[in-house]
Chains A and B, each alone.
Chain A
Amino acid sequence: METQRCPLCGQPNPPQAEVCQYCQARLRPLWADSSSAPSSPPDNQVAKRSLPPESGEPLPPGRLSGMRSQIGTEESAQAEHPPQGVPPSKGTLESEDWLEGLFSGSSEGQAEDIPAWLRSLRGDSADKAERVEEPPMHPLFSASQPSVFSQAPQSKLELEGVSPPGEGEIGSGIAQEERPVPPFEGLDTFALEGHSFPGEDKLDTSTPLTAKEASPKSSPAAPSAEEDWMSEIPPWLETLPGQEWVEEESPEKAAPPELLHAAVPPFIETEEELSEVEFPSWLDEAERSIEPQLDTLIESLSPQTTEPSMGEKTPEGGLPQATAPFQEEALIEIAGPLHGLRGVLPAEPLVAAQTRPPRPIAELLVTEKQRAQAELFLKLIEAEGKPIPPPPLKRAKPHSFWRILIFLVLLTTAAVGLVIPPFAATPQELSVAVFDAMQAVGQLPGDATVLLVVDMEGGNFAEIQATTNALLDQMMIKGAFFVLVSTHQEGVLQADRLLREVSRLNGHRYQPSSGWVNLGYLPGGATGIQALSESLVELLPYTVEGKAAWQQDRLKNIRSISDFDLILVITEDSTRARQWVEQLNGKYTASKLLFAVSAQVEPVLRPYYEANPRQVQSMLAGIRDGAIYETQAARPGWATRFWSAYLIVVLTGIALITLGSLVYSISGLGLQKSSPREGNL
């Protein structure tokens, strides 16, 4: 957004503001009519100035455009390498036009209104003495003036066939008809060249190039003796706002006089061309006449003023402040509360005003790639705000058909295995685990007391019953008394059922109270087992029937778990099995600890069983060990009854798994071929 800075306080203000929002200073001149261009923001002006002139752009105002049109193709042909780094600034052009208007005005037959000082510009040599005392000239002139006395700019001045103000006047005094170029035109060119110094590419963006700023107030050049010829501004000129001069000039006025056009020398760009130039005689004479004055002037100037080196100029084109007091004498405030006053000190130090970055140049550095990236970034930001609809959930297809097929096959084979006579003998091989279990049971004394831990659910009841049938049968034969406890809620119910079923199937007459007591549920997991292992009687004093458990005759001698003749843990949960092993470790003799578990627990329990020393005396796992036990004990039971059916069902299961895996492997290979993905194999 464009803003305009207050000339008094330097604060930014909206472009339409009439007065400063901060100090209430007037921002626009009161007399500026609608036709006059308001003081546009300086940044904007700099941006316009920074743009190189193109064919489609409007021509620079004032005399420069006229000059360009007159030179025509010759100029364009010779200026193949124009000073692109420094295109003519608007402020410069405005300043030129302001002065050019004076000349153009004089060329239109207004000789009767022309004051004496102005006539001297036309070559009236009678006013030479007055010229020395002229006030400081226009800032652009003054800006270029020091370069006149420096090395390089002077040669350029000479190259272009123009003379410094003093020389111009001298030249004009020689012969008006022979004078090819108005002196200010030469100065104009010189001023432009002066801005093309290295380091001056960044134009003074801080200084608003309005009429006010184009005034000597902001001119950094030191006043010289040659500039004094403009010190006396006529009253009619003082009444004119400088900016309006520029804006109100007609295109016709901007064009230089016709008589000067023919004398415009061709552009000279090299020193070789320079050496070939033949200077007119009037120029030599003027040079000789002005040399003493120049010497005097140079001697009178301080080194700082006479040598306005490049380093003294700020990147924005600022000039040494030593010139400010001279120039401020000619200032006329055109805005703000001090409007109309002359010689007002600048409210804003030049140094502070010169620190603004050259924003327009940065804007021009945006490349196509950066622009594309910016557009992409904007698109990404826009896309982030838009809700992305989630991909439709891919619901798994029901696999009822295959599941039913598998179930029916297994059910059929199980029914066949149960219906047909046993076709397979139970395994006769005595495993080490079964042997150890049989040995442990065989070592039980008569009327032994066994702690029976039953941690299982109803789903595993059949397997557990097949596994433990022979084992419990052997204990019942020995007349063991069972104390039931469970860390699983349902285990309390299943424990009673298990003993009832084993008793019924094997012809025992085991009943609750007489054959076993159920202590019920032991909550707390590992905590409960540890508490049980160390304070059995205190922890579970009553049975599930509410009777005092340890008052029975068979349990009077039991005070801790070490008093039991055997502990048999029956479980289908590997975690519970591990907890019982861990918590009973060191609390109970491992040789009296037996496990009758589901087949799925066997791999977890085997490291304890195969440890040295053993943490578990024996381990019966699954229907196979139960069948072996029954065979070895010659007490056929559930395992023997189920064995044929189990065998055929297991083989059917193996066949289903193998066949299904093969089929799906083939189909999976097809899938992987169609959509390759990373795999381990």
Chain B
Amino acid sequence: MRQPFLSLSFSTLITFLTGTVVLLGYFTDLPPLDGLRLRFLQWAVLLSAVALLVGVLNLARVHWSRFGEGISKALMSLAFFLGFFVALLAGGLLGIQNTVTRALVDFVIVPIEASLFVVILVVLIYALTRMVRKQLSAFNFAFLATVVLALLGSVPLPATQIPFFQGEDSPISYALRVLGTAGVRGLLIGIALGSAVTGLRVLFGLDRPSGE
């Protein structure tokens, strides 16, 4: 029988111990600790690969169960397994650098993904224009103006020169670059702080991201 409390405590202890070893090895130069940290990192990479396999296996199981849920769903799952086995055959048997695999990438994967990106582009432009319809706030206005100015500053206009816009050192470009750097730097510091604090909380068992 599963004992959630013991399981939870043991899991938290494992997380704390491994995290502490890796953190101490990262910030110190103690050889035994550093060696253990490297070993833990390698094992974690292997575990990540297994986690990927587990995820794919779960996806395949879900699609397998959909075969009995009607023709439409069965056809979709059939498409999934079709692509799945084609990739296994091409990548596994023929190899990643085989001609067939390359053709699969060139003529199937890239067209699909590029076309999806085009769809996203159109939707984004449409959404950007509609953004001001809902609410014309200072944030929206600054966002919209930045997008337009950044696009305008990235391309030199043929046979004309817009003052303050063109060129990397133009006032508009400079202002956008400096202000953008300031904003992103604040975001990066905030992300780093948040990552560190949240990570430490999880390591010490104060937060449980797995929800157990």
Contact = CB atoms under 8 A, between A and B. Distances in A.
Contacts of A558: none
Interface string A470-500: 0000000000000000000010111011001
A531 B52 CA distance: 18
Nearest to A609: B181
A664 B127 CA distance: 11
Contacts of B106: 497
B184 interface: yes
B129 interface: yes
Contact of B38 (A410, A531, A660, A681): A531
Interface in A558-605: 578, 599, 603-604
Interface stretch (B9-17, B73-81, B149-157, B203-211): B149-157
B129 A660 contact: yes
A661 B38 contact: no
B138 interface: yes
B134 A544 contact: no
The secondary-structure label for the interface of chain A is helix
A496 B109 contact: no
Contacts of A521: 49
A521 B147 CA distance: 35
B139 A458 contact: no
Contacts of B185: 607
A32 to B, nearest CB: 70
A661 B95 contact: no
**From A531, A535, A663, A667, residue with most partner B Cβ within 10 Å:** A531
B96 A528 contact: no
Interface in B119-133: 121-123, 125-126, 128-133
Interface stretch (A130-138, A240-248, A646-654): A646-654
A500 B155 CA distance: 29
B114 A462 contact: yes
B51 to A, nearest CB: 8
Interface residues of A, number: 74
A284 interface: no
B112 A518 contact: no
A611 to B, nearest CB: 9
Contacts of A656: 125, 129
B114 A523 contact: no
Given A427-B156, A661-B129, A679 B110 contact: no
B110 A461 contact: yes
Contacts of A534: 38, 41
B184 to A, nearest CB: 5
A361 interface: no
A460 B128 CA distance: 21
Given A650-B154, A657-B147, A661-B144, A493 B109 contact: yes
A406 B95 contact: no
Contact of A607 (B114, B158, B184): B184
Contact of A538 (B42, B122, B157): B42
Interface string A657-681: 1111101110111010000000111
Given A654-B151, A681-B137, A458 B110 contact: yes
A425 B155 CA distance: 10
A512 B2 CA distance: 51
A399 B126 contact: yes
A459 B117 contact: yes
26 contacts: A410-B121, A493-B105, A493-B109, A496-B96, A497-B110, A500-B102, A523-B52, A524-B44, A525-B48, A527-B45, A538-B42, A544-B95, A544-B97, A545-B95, A578-B191, A603-B184, A610-B181, A647-B158, A654-B148, A654-B151, A654-B152, A657-B148, A661-B128, A661-B144, A664-B132, A664-B133
A-B complex: 8 closest residue pairs judged by Cβ atoms: A660-B129, A459-B117, A458-B113, A664-B133, A531-B41, A523-B48, A458-B110, A680-B137
Given A544-B95, A607-B181, A661-B129, 10 more contacts: A461-B114, A497-B110, A603-B184, A604-B184, A606-B177, A653-B125, A660-B126, A660-B130, A679-B136, A681-B138
